[in-house]
Amino acid sequence: ALGLAAAGVATSSAREASSGRETSALHFVDSLALYVPEQKASGTISLWGHGSFKQDFLGKLVHAWTDGFRRLQPEVQFENRMYGTASAIGALFTGAGNLAILGEEINPAAAAAFQRAKGYPPAGVQIATGSLAASFFDYAHMIFVHADNPIGRLTLRQLEAIFGTEHKRGRHNVRTWDQLGLAGEWHGRRIQPYSWKTDEDFGLFFRAAVLGGSHRWNVDVKEFVHITRPDGSVYEHGAQILDALARDRFGIAISNVRYANSRVKALALASREGGPYYRATCANLISQSYPLTRIIPAFFDRAPGATRCRCNPRPGGETAVTPARVIRVWGTDQLQALVQRWALGWRQSHPGLAVDSRLTGSDVGMAGLYTGFADLALLGRECTAFESKGFEWIFRYPPAQVQITTGSLDRAGQSPALIALVHRDNPLSQLTLTQLDALFGHERLRGAPKSLRTWSDLGLSGEWADKLINLYADDAESGTGRFFRRAVLNDSSRLNWERLTEFNTADVGRRIAQALAADRFGLAVTGGFSESVPQVKALALAPDATCEAIAATRETLIARRYPLTRAVYAYFNRRPEAPLDAAVGGFLRYVLSHEGQQDVASGIDYLPLSPETARQQLRTLDGI
């Protein structure tokens, strides 16, 4: 199917050029090689990717490709399952799809899920250039300053120094305009950056293209998201960004020319020091000379060393079919032993039913659910926004969920509670989540009046008073890091990076504890290490100063009294107002029963739900 793209590589750019913009940039199309079939093909090819029930997106382009291909290969049929980019890679590694046509660069989480499921990365090719300024067609990122600003161009190293903190391209932050060579009234003026949401799709592209993959953005970046007005119209994030820049002579912004106004101007960009510098034009996008050009990729399953992709077109549009009286369970591999115990206990009262488990990872589980290959997705965390979009864009309602166990106290990989740690010499005995937010979070969304930087800010005196608090934590983009940001920082992604050391290893909890053991003035939040580290101690935690501080124990986790307790979740497909499948509901009721939770308690890893929590989950299951 990829062969048909050769004649249509520039179609998305041609759509813009046909309105009179740089038609000459497309002069090369006639020189592209024609598609010549290597052999006769037959079967059905399932396409997943950039599409929607409401918007055509790539529909016309894909139809042009498939129609052209079928003129040469008439025995091939196409099944269009293009519900959105978020579900496309999942469909590929589950086997539901043969080709994933994305509306943007591949999401790192989707690539990681494919790698986990298949043991190798997805293969991909570029099949079109992103647009110059067409919405929903992967338009180019452009850098703007105020019209009064004398600067006219920047390098990617300078951009990283402005928008980032990790210095993967250079050595220093750039925070004032004189650091970029401006004088006079611009000297010493602080640069105010503006951007779309840094942890969503557009931000992920900029992170990869400019920040070297770093999630450590400049904490002063002002982020914007689409706003729906009372009349139903949408005030798009790009327009908000450039409207804000028009009011700020000392700002700099990521946006697109479709949102430009008379008070802003776009800059030329260079990939390396000394140039050459390029502006965003159709010609420079097609040649990919412009550094922030975006692309439309297609991905497929091809194992290393193989010469062809694993398409295996299905005859007659065959789809996933549930085997009779079998519940298919996908999800985290950490639940393997527990699922076996549940299946054995459940089958004693349901001898005609069976459980088939494919437990390879939480990120794989949700793809099984939305492609119809799984009835249950068991996750050691809540599903991500990206995973939820993959489901919702297909079914037009969110996945249902219940908690099925409490996380572990200290078992790595098994949803361990997060623990605040200090050196054993530290006289501190407890903290609140509000204080943790003021220590780690730049935004202080829990309402602390100021950041906490030294131990005197936490009430310590003597040798501790003037010492800076060195911070340690799991990588902010890991599952544990995302839980910490949601539970403590109220979902903020702006951390105090200059004082924070992140860890991202298999034994992360132990590594953090060992680092803290060598740092008397450090403070860490982590979980998942059971061995004793004598030089560190755990702190009791309270939500705020009005609440009792609670230590993490098996009992306080089960009772949900400890503030940073985690849970394990079952996700399933239930249409709103519709009854749950009887077999799936029956299995979940067993899991939430006395017998099912006794299966949990008999292990050494996860903790059972309390009777009250189990009753709450049963009410959720029953739609009450």
pLDDT score of 14 more than 50: no
The rounded distance, in Å, linking the Cα atoms of 63 and 179 is: 51
For range 618-623, the mean pLDDT: 92
Report the amino acid identity of residue 442.
H
pLDDT score of 528 more than 90: no
pTM (2 decimals)? 0.89
pLDDT in tens, 530-546: 677 899 999 999 999 99
Report the amino acid identity of residue 302.
R
Structure tokens at 358: 């494919």
Tell me the average pLDDT of the chain.
91
Dihedral (C-alpha) 475, 478, 479, 481: value to the nearest 10 degrees? Answer: 30
For range 176-203, the mean pLDDT: 95
Structure tokens at 157: 């190293």
Helix (H) or strand (E) holding 128: strand 123-129
The per-residue pLDDT for 25 is: 64
The rounded distance, in Å, linking the Cα atoms of 10 and 296 is: 10
pLDDT in tens, 268-295: 999 999 999 999 999 999 999 999 999 9
In order of start, what are the domains of the chain with their CATH numbers? 2-128 (3.40.190.10), 142-279 (3.40.190.10), 320-407+566-621 (3.40.190.10), 419-558 (3.40.190.10)
DSSP per position, 443-474: S-TT--SS---BGGGGT--GGGTT-B-EEEEE
pLDDT score of 617 more than 90: yes
The per-residue pLDDT for 604 is: 79
pLDDT score of 10 more than 70: no
pLDDT in tens, 443-487: 999 999 999 999 999 999 999 999 999 999 999 999 999 999 999
pLDDT in tens, 242-254: 999 999 999 999 9
Helix (H) or strand (E) holding 348: helix 336-349
The rounded distance, in Å, linking the Cα atoms of 547 and 98 is: 54
Nearest to 224 by CA among 194, 249, 191, 256: 194
| Beta-strand pair 227-228/536-538 | unpaired
Q: What is the CA radius of gyration of the chain?
A: 27
For range 92-113, the mean pLDDT: 95
The per-residue pLDDT for 22 is: 52
In residues, how long is the chain? Answer: 624
The rounded distance, in Å, linking the Cα atoms of 280 and 335 is: 50
Residue 409: pLDDT band by 50, 70, 90 thresholds? very high
List alpha helices for 358-473, DSSP H.
362-370, 385-395, 433-440
pLDDT score of 216 more than 70: yes
The per-residue pLDDT for 624 is: 60
For range 203-221, the mean pLDDT: 96
The rounded distance, in Å, linking the Cα atoms of 226 and 556 is: 41
Report the amino acid identity of residue 438.
A
The rounded distance, in Å, linking the Cα atoms of 313 and 72 is: 17
For range 138-163, the mean pLDDT: 97
